[in-house]
Structures are given as structure tokens and as C-alpha cells.
Amino acid sequence: MEFLSEYGLFLAKTLTFVIAVFVIVSLAVSMGGRTKKSDKGHIEVAKLNEKFDHLRDSLRDAMLDDDEYKEFEKAEKKRLKEEKAQKKKAAKEMAKTKVEDTSSAESEPSAKKRIFVLDFYGDIKASEVESLREEITTVLTLAKPTDEIVVKVESGGGMVHSYGLASSQLVRITNKKIPLTVCVDKVAASGGYMMACVADKIVAAPFAILGSIGVLAQLPNFHKLLKKNDIDYEMFTAGEYKRTVTMFGENTEKGRAKFVEELEDTHVLFKEFVSSHRPQVDVEKVATGEVWFGSRAKDVNLIDELQTSDEYLFAQAESADIYEVEFTYKKTLPEKLGFAAQAAVDRLLMTWWERLNISRWF
């Protein structure tokens, strides 16, 4: 018994020491993070044209034998040389024909179109809106009306205020008169479609899910359970409608009616938002909370074209410079330690969300 008590005391001391060290390290890292708070993250840019070229060259290298590859290299060098000579000749001719009056923009050679590609994967809280706002701010420093911004959206919806902010970030692009295209490969429903409808053009895969223009809210009520166990629940508010429904108190018909009224008003705002950005849509017909697959969504004007994002971008690689822009946040040590657990919880919540068919904007 004496041995067991000493061993137990030893374990308690060891556990206390480990917890103390962990707390000290966490505090130190947290303080360090606060001193570097201004350094939130950085922008990463990748030119997709180079990626496409690399993929093509890798396949060609595997397919051609040595003699064929030498012939190809020779022909490619000749082609590049001729192309360079043609550009030089065109520049000289332009210089000769250029008049002193440079006010006419028609005499200037047109610059190659640029396409900036952003990704948005939306969870219930639209957590990536923070990255999206940084990416859009960065692109707007250089983008012109002759360029194009492509946002690949994947979201089944979520909180009203979160997706309202995400949609407002996209409105910043259209306010600058820069063409905006939203590509949907899998799903842009509810809050996701609220974002998509801002675009000048919506491109979706044939089996992508779109629509769900509706509002939903649900919560359990434990009042009967508490009452059965003689447990009182008291809530104090100032304002008649400060709390319309509750999880633990007894809900009233008046409170329920007010809550439904608020949902209806949110639905009206949602429909007005869609109508203002896509007037070609018969909102009353589609704002029933239903969803449509891509090919059916085109029939009711929810989208404009049937294509995957890969097909859309690859088709423009010859005539435009395509840049993928991503804002990456720096994570502190506690954030890195908790990232895996948070990701698992998010996946669990999303699975629960989808199984209950709550892919709605609420």
C-alpha cells in the first residue's frame, strides 16, 4: 500500500509538471504571436500557364524518343525565333506609324488579357472570407476592366451574416467594372449561390448543385425534460423580442410567430439580392428552397454556361496570362496543434449538416 501511494504521488507530480510546462510554452507562444500580430500571412501567386506547359512538356518527354525529341526542339527553336522576329517587326511598324498626337488609344497595342483565379471553400461560418478579402484587395491593386477575375466557389451555405459579407467582397470586384466569373464544380447552394449570383457570368459543371434560395433555422427544446425533472430555467431580457425562441424555456406562439416573421424577412432580402444581380432569373419560381443540377440550373437561368473550371481556364490559356492568387495565414503553435482537431470537428459538423439536409442559407 505504501508503494502504491508513493507511486500515485509520483504520477501526480509528473502530471502537474507536464501541465505546467505546457501552459508556460503556450503562453510564451501566444505572447510571441501577439508581438507579430501585424504579420498575418502572405500572398502566394502561381502562373497557371506555366503549370499547363509543364504538364504538356512532361507528357511529351515521355512519348517522344531521342530522335523525335531533337527534331521537336529544333522546330520549337525555329518557331520561337520567328515569333520573336514578328513581334520585333510589328513594334517597328507601330513606331513608324505613331503620330505625335498620342491621345487616340486605338493606335496603342492592346495588352494581353490577365485572369486572376481565387478559390473559396465555404464552411458553415464562411471562415475563408478573411482570406478572400485579402486576395481581392491584392488583385484590385492591379486588375483593370480589360482583365478578368475568376472565383471558384464551393459551398452549401451557412450563416446569414457570414455569407452576406462574402458576397459583399465579390461586389467590390463588380463595382470596379472588372469582369467577374464564378465557377462551380460541385456545389454553390444557399449562401454559396448568394455569392455566385454576384458574378457577370456563372459557369457550372453539369452535375454541380445550385439554388436552395431559402432560409432555415432549427433548434431543439428541452423544456419538457427540465420540467419532468423539476428543474427551473429562467431567462431575463429587456425588449419584447430580445429572445423569441429558446432551447430551455417554454416557447410561446407569439414568440414563434415573430421568429418565423424574421425568417420570412430574411428570405425576402435574399430574393431581392438575387434579383438585383441576376434580373434574368424568375425569382419567385426558383426561390422555393429547391436545388438544381447544373444542366437543369441553366434552363432556369441560375447559370450561364456548362463547363468545369478546368475546361474554362484551360481554353483561355493561349490568349491570356492566368494567375492563381492565394492568401496564406501564418498559424501560431497552439493553432497548429488544434488545427487537426478543428478540421475533424468541421468535417463532422458538415456531415451532420448534410445528413439532416440543412444545406441552406440561414
Residue type, 100: E
Q: What is the pTM of this model?
A: 0.74
By the 8 A CB rule, do 213 and 271 touch?
A: yes
Distances (CA, A) of 104 to 97, 98, 100, 107, 145: 13, 10, 10, 6, 18
Flag whether pLDDT at 121 surpasses 80: yes
DSSP 297-354: HHHTTS-SEE--HHHHHHHTTTTEEEEEEEEEE---HHHHHHHHHHHHHHHHHHHHHH
How much is the pLDDT for 106?
A: 45
Q: What is the pLDDT of residue 333?
A: 55
The predicted-structure confidence for 190-206, as pLDDT tens digits, reads as follows 999 999 999 999 999 99
pLDDT, tens digit (0-9, with 9 covering 90-100), for 69-79: 778 778 878 87
Q: Residue 101 — pLDDT band, cuts 50, 70, 90?
A: very low
pLDDT at 331 over 70: no
297/301 Cα distance (integer angstroms) = 6
Q: Residue 274's closest CA among 197, 161, 191, 172?
A: 197
Other C-beta atoms closer than 10 Å to the C-beta of 241 total 12
User: Any idea which residue has 458538415 for its cell?
Assistant: 350
For residues 356 and 104, give the distance between their C-alpha atoms in angstroms, rounded to a whole number.
61
User: Mean pLDDT in the chain?
Assistant: 83
- Partnered with residue 171 across adjacent β-strands are none
CB 213 within 8 A of CB 270: yes
Contact in structure between 149 and 183 (CB atoms under 8 Å): no
Q: What is the pLDDT of residue 65?
A: 82
Adjacent-strand bridge partners of 42: 328
Q: How confident is the model at residue 64 (pLDDT cuts 50, 70, 90)?
A: confident
CA 340 vs CA 16, 154, 186, 272, 335: distances in Å: 26, 21, 24, 39, 9
Q: pLDDT confidence of 6, banded at 50, 70, 90?
A: low
Structural domains of the chain sorted by starting position, each given as residue range(s) with its CATH number in brackets: 113-214+279-355 (3.90.226.10)
Q: Is 77 helix (H, G, I), strand (E, B) or coil?
A: helix
Read off the pLDDT of residues 352-362 as tens digits, 9 standing for 90 and up: 544 444 333 44
Cα distance between residue 354 and residue 209, in whole Å: 13
The β-bridge relationship of strands 113-122 and 187-189 is: unpaired
d(CA 189, CA 194): 8
Which cell numbers in the block locate residue 289? 428552397
**DSSP H or E stretch at residue 76:** helix 66-97
Q: Among candidates 51, 175, 170, which has minimal Cα distance to 122?
A: 170
Enumerate the active-site residues: 190, 242
d(CA 268, CA 285): 14
Measured CA to CA in angstroms, residue 226 lies from 113, 248, 272 at distances of: 65, 8, 42
Q: Which amino acid is at 293?
A: F
User: Checking DSSP bridges between strand 113-122 and strand 320-329, what pairing results, if any?
Assistant: parallel
Ordered DSSP codes for 110-166: PPPEEEEEEEEEE-TT-TTHHHHHHHHHHHHTT--TTSEEEEEEEE----HHHHHHH
Q: Looking at residue 34, what is its pLDDT?
A: 47
